Amino acid sequence: MMIPLSYNSVSVHLGRVPCDLLPLIALDSVLRKPCFSVSQFFNCGSQRRSKKQNNSIVMSSNNLRTNNFLRHVESMRLHPSGAGHIPYLNAIILGESLATEEDDFVLPSEDFASQANVQSPEQYLKLYKRSIEDPDGFWSEIASQFYWKQRWGDKVCDENFDIRNGNIKIEWFKGGITNICYNCLDRNVEAGLGDKVAIYWEGNEPSLDATLTYSQLLDQVCQLANYLKDIGVKKGDAVIIYLPMLMELPIAMLACARIGAVHSVVFAGFSAEALTQRIIDCKPKVVITCNAVKRGPKAIHLKDIVDTAIHDSAQNGGISIDKCLVYENPSAMKKEDTKWKEGRDIWWQDVTPQYPTTCPVEWVDAEDPLFLLYTSGSTGKPKGVLHTTGGYMVYTATTFKYAFDYKPSDIYWCTADCGWITGHSYVTYGPMLNGASVVVFEGAPSYPDSGRCWDIVDKYKVTIFYTAPTLVRSLMRDGDAFVTRYSRKSLRVLGSVGEPINPSAWRWFYNVVGDSRCPISDTWWQTETGGFMITPLPGAWPQKPGSATFPFFGVQPVIVDEKGIEIEGECNGYLCIKKSWPGAFRTLYGDHERYETTYFKPFAGYYFSGDGCSRDKDGYHWLTGRVDDVINVSGHRIGTAEVESALVSHPQCAEAAVVGVEHEVKGQGIYAFVTVVDGVPYSEQLRKDLILTVRKLIGAFAAPDKIHWAPGLPKTRSGKIMRRILRKIASRQLDELGDTSTLADPSVVNQLIELADS
């Protein structure tokens, strides 16, 4: 879809002075008495902070009426409360630092907005409204930009989203014949991008790097695809990929997609037990792995883990794996030191170069499976989230383009592993569908020191940097010096993914990493959604630190109460989605009943995200964490993310994780694990100060019952905090800690246990 690049005229007055306008800017057509133009505002410099603006806004009744689906989005056009006077509104323009915790808004600069893919609230509203009122036309127009061997049928979308009307069904572009690998690679080569770098690979050691152009990547994908076909892998067969962040990981994903095989990437940090579960469930024709990988100074013997999993799959599940393709990673392990089973194990480098660099495409229906990605649940059978081809392709490409304001000249780096959905959608498929140049990093972000990320940013001139709040907080804890010794001048857009980012970390990310120049796309989405659902569009509207802001095109978020009743205006409740979107997952592999029960039965007529959410008076969305991470204290429902954010706002708190524990009086109590800034000693006074901070920012009812000092938090190698372990430690159920093999540093658990009563 072509989006016009004109900047719409708006009226605005901002600053830390009396102000009558929301920086989301009431449009000229909405105002009876305009203030002054946006160009005047952007050019007035520091003078705007001394000027007083006494004009008031008078809304016509026509402008207050909204369509049902726009009722919380169109607040962007209006005064923050819908009407009335706000005596002080604190806002800055992109390029200025967020000086205090009281700064509420960061407004796109005129220069950034004028070049953005979406440039104003009015432009967004026009597109969003069409995506809801005419989804067939909206998504057909976008889908037509990709190659389809055969166009879809009369229905763009066919769905039943209400379990009361029968089985849940979601179909997009049914009857359309395409191939996502062709659209990622062949289509770009044919468009003249063959010599453009597709992947910049950065090894664990700073001295190791490599590149692949789109032509070279296509050649290697075809060679692997031909090998897989030769050993009997066919359309619809499953392939397990257990690889670290080598270039061979996206190569393997694309090779499977090329021949219609269903890939299931398993994060190369999962234990043999977790890998066994996935092998038994999807019954793959082949497992692809490498002999070992180094994460920082530590070598991880992946082939040994695979050997155990293959053995256990046969013993416990009757699943026999006849072929295991092994990539030799010489920087981590010598070939001769690798354990080997003749007849089953094959070296990647020995066989794939023998195959042709062209491979016919297996054309698939839009609703044919593309990949299985298992959620990393700690107990019970893992959930195999199934995504299909056509809708996922269209949605990931579109969300990547607009949420990051992608330009063809950008160098993009997402720090996620392809073992997670972020690596699928925003390392491999979304970027390559747009012909982007992507950085793939094998190592650890703190190796050889905490400046490694910014060294990589400068080395490759990264313009878009997308990472997790956990990493942001970790680097924040290590100090500004590791950041500021590098230039980072290439950075243009920052992004956050995986969990709500607390405002203090958001401000540090914005002020220090981005030098106050870069908007932050704080994205909310899930493995199940396939792509961004609620996200800033960097040039379209102001950002609030810590808020995911507004829904992406075609997404209709609602907040409901415990009875499933939609709540209007400023509120807090359960986040649900009305109607489907192209990137939605279609089922849980082999268990459609569980799919319906988990996601569609809790609130009939909606997709239930499992997340809590609040919406402020301006219509901005704030994610409060998983509903099962909501603590009910004496009848107060308290989001753990909210308490964590309050704790981390204390200058001596580097990171916090909050869980609920049983309390004989209150039902549940609040138990907080706190990591302090380096050099700060544990003390009773600090403990009191932290509790007072929560009381001040949230209320006495949210004050932690226990502060547990934590030198570190138990995290997976992707940076996720394993709250299951924290709950067991808090409850003193130390014999029920379960599998800790996926932790980046398992010794943290013993440290936490030792400090339990300190």
d(CA 187, CA 193): 9
214-228 core/surface letters (b: 16 or more CB in 10 A; e: else):
bbbbbbbbbbbbbbb
**Rounded to 5 degrees, what angle do the CA atoms 165, 171, 175 make?**
135
d(CA 452, CA 151): 46
On the CB side of 333, how many CA atoms lie within 13 Å of its CA?
A: 22
On the CB side of 339, how many CA atoms lie within 13 Å of its CA?
A: 8
Residues annotated as part of the active site: 628
d(CA 528, CA 154): 26
Give SS3 for 402: helix
In this structure, what token pair is assigned to residue 247? 């270039």
In this structure, what token pair is assigned to residue 141? 């127009």
Alpha-helical (H) ranges within 495-631 are 503-508, 592-599
Q: CA separation (Å) from 469 to 369, 494, 574, 711?
A: 31, 12, 22, 18
In this structure, what token pair is assigned to residue 438? 């992507």
d(CA 303, CA 305): 5
**Rounded to 5 degrees, what angle do the CA atoms 197, 199, 202 make?**
125
Q: At what angle do helices 390-403 and 135-143 cross, to 10 degrees?
A: 90
d(CA 747, CA 509): 29
Give SS3 for 378: coil
Task: Give the pairing type, strands 437-441 and 411-414.
Answer: parallel
d(CA 466, CA 519): 12
Sheet holding 197-202: strands in order across? Answer: 209-213, 197-202, 437-441, 411-414, 464-467, 493-496, 520-522
DSSP string for residues in 56-116: -----HHHH---GGGTTTGGGGS-TTSSS--SB--EEEBTB---STT--EEEPPHHHHHTS
Alpha-helical (H) ranges within 121-203 are 121-133, 135-143, 180-181, 187-188
DSSP string for residues in 324-377: EEEE--TTT--GGGS---TTTEEEHHHHGGGS-S------EETTSEEEEEE---
Radius of gyration of the CA atoms of the chain, in A: 26
